């Protein structure tokens, strides 16, 4: 087991109020600041474009990065929009674009009949509804020891969301099919890039393998409402099972291409590499997500007696098969019950394990297995940018049973 480590950055998160929890020997490095997962009011105001979020549920890292506090995630599968995390790579465009959402235009290229279509036209081509886990590549960055640049997310840069929109396949069919030789779907965001900067340096343009053409949807609806500006409205590309960055917001161009995007965000950004190495195109891209789970209740303290330990689990592109829970720092495990509804392979699944625990301090964590037998890792080896900490060791919570 790792030695408990309390990072300086953990003290900074949600700075006000409660002192950092004391570390307990043998409790596997989980002693990160309890205030960050607690219920304290935020010290930084919400940005205007996300002012409709529930402030007490959010950690405001920057005006472009808002995290959901861990215990606010419930058991009914879908995360309400007003507590869903926000990670914008760039300042969102003017809100006028969602005021007249149906007029938003998207250029389709690399198809037999390239053309521009409005959202209004896309709505005539077909509709599919897909629940997916939306997770920022950097979720868990704050659990690594090396101080990677970027927001020190804990668990709250993730949420399960229901999207509605047109299947990309239906659009492609209407445009005469994909051009020969295409290997990627390359999607371009509609953020406004100022003068004085090479567009490729900051452009949000991501390519994913063309195999995803049959699962991608172009969504105009999220959790039953038009996609808000903060989440990429009027139209967002949803690549089920892929990290958040691939789900391009305000999409204005969808191209079937032979090569990956030339933008830095594709070529050198979002590449997994050892600490200290620069990003390069031959390193793995942050595409498919890993199997992962974490406990959402209890996370700080709870009365003794019957306790319902619950949390969420997902398998990236595969459904979750089982979840086990440990209350002794991973020394022993008990099978948790997966809760209904099952919203499909790309959604997360809530789980519960009823236990009775005497007074004391416990390291509680969970471990998921997907349908392919992939087991959630015990620890996540450091990677330069601090992407996706999935290890059950540091996703554990230190809970005091009163």
Partner 1 sequence: EEMDVARQLITSDAGPACAVCHQLAAAEATGTLGPSLDQLKPDAQTVRAALLEGPGVMPEYGDKLTMEQMELISAYVAAVAGGGQP
Q: Which residues bind partner 1 (CB under 8 A)?
A: 44, 62-65, 89-91, 147-150, 191, 193-194, 196-198, 201-204, 264-265, 268-269, 278-279, 384-385
Give me the least distance between CB of 236 and partner 1, in Å please: 17
By beta-carbon proximity to partner 1, the closer residue of 250 and 346 is: 250
By beta-carbon proximity to partner 1, the closer residue of 48 and 56 is: 48
Instruction: Compute how many other C-beta atoms are within 10 angstroms of the C-beta atom of residue 264.
Output: 16
By beta-carbon proximity to partner 1, the closer residue of 101 and 203 is: 203
Alpha helices in 103-189 (DSSP H): 119-122, 168-174
Task: Work out whether strand 105-109 and strand 115-118 pair parallel, antiparallel, or are unpaired.
Answer: antiparallel
Give me the least distance between CB of 149 and partner 1, in Å please: 4
Give me the least distance between CB of 294 and partner 1, in Å please: 23
Give me the least distance between CB of 162 and partner 1, in Å please: 26
Q: Can you tell me the distance from the alpha carbon of 321 to that of 361, in angstroms, rounded to the nearest whole number?
A: 29
By beta-carbon proximity to partner 1, the closer residue of 367 and 385 is: 385
Q: Can you tell me the distance from the alpha carbon of 233 to that of 16, in angstroms, rounded to the nearest whole number?
A: 33
Which tokens belong to 273?
């590499």
Give me the least distance between CB of 65 and partner 1, in Å please: 8
By beta-carbon proximity to partner 1, the closer residue of 91 and 121 is: 91
Q: Can you tell me the distance from the alpha carbon of 20 to that of 119, in angstroms, rounded to the nearest whole number?
A: 49
By beta-carbon proximity to partner 1, the closer residue of 94 and 211 is: 94
Q: Do residues 190 and 121 lie in contact, with contact meaning Cβ atoms separated by under 8 Å?
A: no
Give me the least distance between CB of 124 and partner 1, in Å please: 34
Of 59, 44, 46, the C-alpha closest to 10 is 59
Q: Do residues 232 and 250 lie in contact, with contact meaning Cβ atoms separated by under 8 Å?
A: yes
Which tokens belong to 150?
């970027």
By beta-carbon proximity to partner 1, the closer residue of 62 and 116 is: 62
List of residues 6+ apart from 338 with CB closer than 8 A: 313, 320, 322, 323, 349, 350, 351
Give me the least distance between CB of 387 and partner 1, in Å please: 11
Rg over alpha carbons for the chain, rounded to the nearest Å, is 21
By beta-carbon proximity to partner 1, the closer residue of 181 and 196 is: 196
By beta-carbon proximity to partner 1, the closer residue of 144 and 294 is: 144
Of 131, 193, 118, 127, the C-alpha closest to 162 is 131
Q: Can you tell me the distance from the alpha carbon of 43 to that of 214, in angstroms, rounded to the nearest whole number?
A: 43
Q: Do residues 189 and 255 lie in contact, with contact meaning Cβ atoms separated by under 8 Å?
A: no
By beta-carbon proximity to partner 1, the closer residue of 124 and 149 is: 149
Q: For 324, which DSSP code?
A: E
Strand partners, 185: 208, 256
Give me the least distance between CB of 106 and partner 1, in Å please: 21
Give me the least distance between CB of 210 and partner 1, in Å please: 24
Give me the least distance between CB of 338 and partner 1, in Å please: 34
* Torsion sign over Cα 225, 230, 233, 239: negative
Q: Do residues 176 and 111 lie in contact, with contact meaning Cβ atoms separated by under 8 Å?
A: yes
Q: Can you tell me the distance from the alpha carbon of 195 to that of 20, in angstroms, rounded to the nearest whole number?
A: 44
């Amino acid at each position: 087991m790792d030695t408990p480590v309390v990072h300086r950055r953990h003290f900074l998160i949600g700075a006000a109020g409660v002192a950092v929890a004391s570390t307990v020997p043998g409790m596997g490095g989980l002693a990160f600041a309890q205030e960050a997962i607690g219920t304290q009011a935020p010290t930084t105001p919400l940005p205007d474009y996300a002012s409709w979020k529930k402030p007490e549920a959010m950690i405001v890292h920057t005006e472009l990065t808002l995290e959901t506090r861990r215990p606010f995630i419930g058991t009914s599968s879908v995360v309400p929009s007003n507590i869903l995390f926000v990670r914008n790579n760039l300042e969102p465009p003017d809100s006028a674009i969602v005021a007249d959402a149906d007029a938003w235009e998207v250029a389709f290229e690399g198809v037999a009949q390239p053309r521009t279509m409005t959202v209004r036209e896309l709505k005539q081509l077909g509709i599919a509804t897909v629940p997916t886990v939306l997770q920022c590549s950097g979720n868990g960055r704050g659990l690594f020891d090396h101080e990677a640049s970027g927001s020190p997310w804990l668990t709250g840069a993730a949420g399960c969301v229901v999207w509605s929109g047109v299947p990309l396949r239906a659009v492609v069919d209407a445009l005469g099919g994909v051009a020969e030789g295409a290997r990627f779907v390359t999607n371009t965001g509609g953020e406004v890039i100022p003068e004085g900067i090479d567009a490729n340096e900051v452009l949000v343009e991501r390519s994913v393998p063309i195999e995803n053409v049959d699962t991608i949807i172009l969504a105009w609806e999220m959790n039953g409402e038009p996609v808000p500006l903060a989440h990429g409205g009027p139209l967002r590309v949803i690549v089920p099972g892929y990290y958040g960055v691939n789900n391009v917001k305000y999409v204005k161009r969808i191209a079937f291409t032979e090569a990956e995007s030339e933008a830095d965000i594709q070529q050198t950004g979002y590449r997994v590499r050892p600490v200290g190495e620069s990003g390069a195109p031959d390193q793995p891209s942050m595409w498919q997500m890993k199997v992962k789970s974490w406990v959402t209740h209890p996370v700080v303290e709870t009365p003794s007696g019957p306790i319902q330990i619950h949390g969420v689990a997902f398998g990236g592109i595969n459904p979750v098969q089982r979840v086990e829970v440990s209350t002794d720092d991973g020394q022993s495990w008990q099978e948790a019950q997966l809760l209904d509804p099952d919203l499909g392979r790309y959604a997360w699944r809530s789980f519960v394990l009823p236990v009775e625990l005497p007074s004391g301090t416990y390291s509680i964590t969970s471990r998921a297995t997907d349908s392919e037998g992939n087991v959630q890792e015990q620890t996540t080896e450091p990677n330069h940018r601090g992407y996706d900490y999935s290890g059950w060791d540091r996703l554990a919570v230190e809970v005091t049973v009163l």
